Structure 1
Amino acid sequence: MSLSSDIAPRRLPEPAAMLRLIKPITWFPPMWAFLCGVVSSGAVLSGQWPMILLGILLAGPIVCGMSQAANDWCDRHVDAINEPYRPIPSGRIPGRWGLWIALAMSLLALFVGWQLGPWGFAATVVGVLAAWAYSAEPVRLKKSGWWGPGLVGLCYEGLPWFTGAAVAAAGMPSWPVILIAALYALGAHGIMTLNDFKALEGDTQTGVNSLPVTLGPRRAALVACWGMALPQAGVISLLLAWGKPLHAGAIALLLLAQIAAMRVLLRDPEARAPWYNGTGVTLYVSGMMIAAFALRSLS
């Protein structure tokens, strides 16, 4: 066997690399938000579980997986600097296979979204368009440290929450549901900003103006912390106003725990951002479900 045959480029993608391309670890936030929407709707769920499970599948593996594939394809030049071992720059997904996978999953998302009725389909269209607007030229909102994380936060937390509530209720969610979903989507801007720390070097070299690049790690981390904390304070205030002091108190305790974790984060934002994403974010999404149950009892 010749050396040239040993190192010949692949013609077909490696199955394990295809799974890694759609990043199963990222599916949890939109699936969780969809469930929060279902709970918050106040609808009777008996008999709706097939539709709900289909919505969870759509929010996580399909739409989120599609967005990850699209992002990796559009970011292949950045990943070649930051993470050359990822599926596309490493050659384990060769040629234009990354693009074909993202496009095929976009079509699959629209087909599945159609099964969820008009509200589910409309939300799916928004999610698919947002995924490509975030990653692809000429729009590529990822270049902005303000618009990019805001769009991702909307699609990871707000849009799935709205969709879950709309599918379960078979109609427009109530304004308290929309308001709480919007606040948690706003707070997710901070989560996405912390996620940008891992690509600081590549973003700097390729002109992606993330907040860690434009503000520096310390100031970006401060913006992220305030961005996560203030919307949760808004949720607590609303729940108190709506006569839900126990739910508000539970979320307040979770927020205090997050503030303690933020103090640790701010000692060394670059090093501790991944740690915070595994601790503070868990506390954040736990509060989402508590808020969802508060809304359900309001309904």
Structure 2
Amino acid sequence: MGNDSIGKSWVDKNGSSPQSWAIALWEFSRPHTIVGTTLSVLALYAIAQSDRLFANPVFLPLAFAWLACICGNIYIVGLNQLEDVEIDKINKPYLPIASGVFSLKIGRLIVAATGILAVLTAVSQGPFLLATVGVSLAIGTAYSLPPIRLKRFPFWAALCIFTVRGAIVNLGLFLHFNWVLGLVGAKSVFSGWSWESLSFGIPAEVWVLTAFVVVFTFAIAIFKDIPDMEGDKQYNITTFTIELGKPAVFNLSRWVLTVCYAGATLAGAVALSNVNLVFLAVSHFLALGLMWFWSVKVDLDDRQEIAEFYQFIWKLFFLEYLIFPAACLLG
């Protein structure tokens, strides 16, 4: 997972070996976001396949969708690092640009290359993936890049994060995979694509997962600024943590996650006939219990403990992309 331990770098600042460069690139890509993106791609593919029982196990479109999303991911987090060098020297000094492992020139080359590759790959795969990647890149650019730089405003910053991670990625990827798999059932892959073949139907399972991820990502968006309070305050980045204080944001995050798990379980009982409700309820109860068990032990004056709990929240986020497709497949 991502190394968000305070002040620690995985790479020797003077290291120039291929291995050191690869490790620095991995750190530059923010590993926890890469894992989250990968799991979301696989989960939406599995949900799109759940009604088909993997009758059309097409993996080439899956690989291209993953490549486009990963490149888009690196573009977004890389651009943020290019614009936040001085802030990261305080909040995240282990990141490659902040620590001096990567120069600004190298960072710009990586961001430009991954952005272009994301768009070109999406163009080759059809309108749904292009829309998903294109809108995500546009929002990610507006989040970090002046003069807009929406990350300066807590409401807009949170909106950017949960809109991309929650709505755009989940709905866009499902529509893409559902469309691709439907075409494969009638024709060979990559042939005969037309606007008339587009399907905009989204099942209840995907809506529930999307709602879960939107709410969960809101909790991540407001929590992530707790350990970064010092640098944000120094460089006039307004966050909910600065406005409300650490305890209020910490407690708000916990209750948002509680509503998230309870709501998804209730929605499963009321609206989802094609999922395994027992598996969904038990797994959600266990995840929620672990979250509360760990949270009561967190010292809000210890940045290391806050950062570790933040990474644990990301692991719960990863876990949902395993739980929900499994509940669909077991239903």
User: Is the structural similarity TM-score above 0.5?
Assistant: yes
Q: 1:136 to 1:164 in 2, by over 3 A?
A: same
Per-residue deviation, 1:285? 3.1
Aligned residues between the structures: 285
- On the 8 A contact 1:141/1:148 being kept in 2, the answer is yes
Which residue is 1:52 aligned to? 62
Per-residue displacement from partner, 1:36-78 (whole Å, max 9, x unpaired)? 2112223544341111122223223x11111111010111231
Instruction: Determine whether 1:258 maps to 2:291.
Output: yes
Which residue is 1:276 aligned to? 309
Runs of 5+ in structure 1 lacking a partner?
A: 1-9
In 2: Cα distance, 1:19 partner to 1:176 partner: 33
User: 89-98 or 212-221: which moved more?
Assistant: 89-98
Which residue is 1:204 aligned to? 233
- Aligned-residue sequence identity (percent) comes to 19
Per-residue displacement from partner, 1:101-159 (whole Å, max 9, x unpaired)? 32232111111112332111110101111111111112222122233133223323443
Partner amino acid, structure 1, of 2:113? A
| TM alignment of 1:1-299, pairs within 5 A | 15-16=21-22, 17-41=24-48, 42=50, 44=52, 45=54, 46-60=56-70, 62-84=71-93, 86-170=95-179, 171-172=199-200, 173-241=202-270, 242-243=272-273, 244-246=276-278, 247-265=280-298, 270-295=303-328
- On the 8 A contact 1:265/1:276 being kept in 2, the answer is yes
Partner amino acid, structure 2, of 1:290? I
Runs of 5+ in structure 2 lacking a partner?
A: 1-15, 180-198
In 2: Cα distance, 1:219 partner to 1:35 partner: 35
Per-residue deviation, 1:255? 1.7
User: 209-218 or 144-153: which moved more?
Assistant: 144-153
User: 203-212 or 169-178: which moved more?
Assistant: 169-178
TM-score w.r.t. structure 2 length?
A: 0.76
In 1: Cα distance, 2:27 partner to 2:282 partner: 39
Partner amino acid, structure 1, of 2:267? L
Partner amino acid, structure 2, of 1:69? G
Partner amino acid, structure 2, of 1:50? L
> What is the RMSD of the two structures over their aligned residues, measured on CA atoms?
2.6
